[in-house]
């Protein structure tokens, strides 16, 4: 540890351990030194070591296995509620590369089935974007976004960037409430093909509706479909 560094020791230790993961010194599934070994190696107290390791566990870089030890987590990204906020931001924090493949994009009056699902039956001017979210070159999720033109120029929406962040920036002060549900289901043929799913793999549909003040219908709807194996229920 650097005595000239003003940051807390547990932060210095956390960063040093993270460097060993990112540099490949510790590979995926490798067991890291025990708590006692880290204490002796870095000449630090138990609380400092424990706090540093706990942060890396919370951030998804390490995983603890009862009775076995602490291991480097898989590089795949386990999703909690991040996609309903900003998946891109959550991935960037973890140093993972994410790209968006636009499968469909439409501005106008949505078909009845889509409008009903989005709870926007009377909406005339809206945008729908269907995207495949790809992480580290692997298809991770299918995302459908439907939102009204209220307060925004639909032509300014960039489907290759974070739609959630853009919409929240536009509507932030007006948002009244957000409703979210999760539903396990069998994938559609398109979802199975796009996500490259195995025969018996189920998916989880995470849906979100954003309501603004003085409006009965939502102004935004997002459906995020991911394999059940990718979702982290502990979050």
Are 16 and 89 in the same domain? no
pTM of the model: 0.61
Residue linked to tokens 């009965």: 216
For residue 231, pLDDT over 70 is answered with: no
Are 65 and 87 in the same domain? no
pLDDT confidence band for 81 (50 / 70 / 90): very low
Are 176 and 226 in the same domain? yes
pLDDT of residue 188: 93
pLDDT of residue 78: 45
Considering only CA atoms, which of 137, 135, 144, 129 is closest in space to residue 191? 144
Q: What's the mean pLDDT in 145-153?
A: 85
Instruction: Please tell me whether residue 11 adopts helix, strand or coil conformation.
Output: helix
pLDDT of residue 90: 61
For residue 228, pLDDT over 70 is answered with: yes
Are 209 and 106 in the same domain? yes
pLDDT confidence band for 174 (50 / 70 / 90): confident
In a domain, 97, yes or no: yes
What does residue 149 show for φ and ψ, rounded to 5 degrees?
A: -90, 5
pLDDT of residue 89: 58
Determine what percent of the chain is predicted with pLDDT higher than 70: 84
Q: What's the mean pLDDT in 92-100?
A: 72
Which of 43, 72, 101 delimits the end of a domain?
A: 72
Are 191 and 224 within 8 A, CB to CB? no
Question: 38-42, 133-137, 221-225 — which is least confidently predicted?
Answer: 133-137
For residue 59, pLDDT over 60 is answered with: yes
User: Cα 27 from chain centroid?
Assistant: 23
Instruction: Please tell me whether residue 73 adopts helix, strand or coil conformation.
Output: coil
Query: CATH code at 181?
Result: 3.40.1410.10
Are 105 and 20 in the same domain? no
pLDDT of residue 16: 93
Are 48 and 124 in the same domain? no
Q: Could you tell me the residue range of the domain that residue 31 belongs to?
A: 9-72
Are 170 and 87 in the same domain? yes
Query: CATH code at 42?
Result: 1.10.10.10
In a domain, 1, yes or no: no
Cα(67)–Cα(108) distance, integer angstroms: 57
| pLDDT mean across residues, the chain | 83
């Amino acid at each position: 540890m650097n005595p000239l560094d003003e940051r807390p020791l547990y932060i210095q230790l956390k960063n040093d351990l993270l460097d060993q993961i990112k540099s490949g010194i510790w590979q995926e599934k490798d067991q890291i030194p025990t708590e006692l070994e880290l204490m002796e190696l870095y000449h630090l107290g138990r609380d400092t070591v424990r706090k540093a390791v706990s942060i890396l566990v919370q951030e998804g870089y390490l995983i603890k296995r009862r009775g076995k030890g602490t291991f480097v987590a898989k590089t795949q990204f386990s999703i909690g509620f991040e996609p309903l906020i900003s998946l891109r931001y959550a991935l960037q924090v973890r140093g993972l590369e994410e790209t968006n493949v636009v499968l469909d994009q439409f501005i106008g009056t949505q078909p009845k089935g889509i409008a009903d699902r989005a709870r926007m039956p009377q909406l005339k001017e809206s945008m729908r974007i269907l995207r495949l979210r790809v992480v580290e070159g692997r298809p991770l999720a299918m995302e459908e976004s439907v939102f009204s033109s209220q307060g925004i120029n639909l032509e300014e929406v960039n489907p290759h960037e974070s739609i959630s962040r853009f919409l929240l920036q536009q509507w932030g002060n007006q948002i009244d409430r957000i409703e979210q549900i999760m539903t396990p289901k069998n994938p559609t043929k398109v979802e199975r093909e796009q996500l490259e799913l195995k025969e018996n793999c189920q998916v989880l549909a995470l849906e979100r509706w954003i309501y603004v003040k003085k409006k009965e219908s939502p102004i935004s709807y997002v459906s995020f479909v991911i394999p059940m194996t990718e979702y982290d229920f502990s979050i």
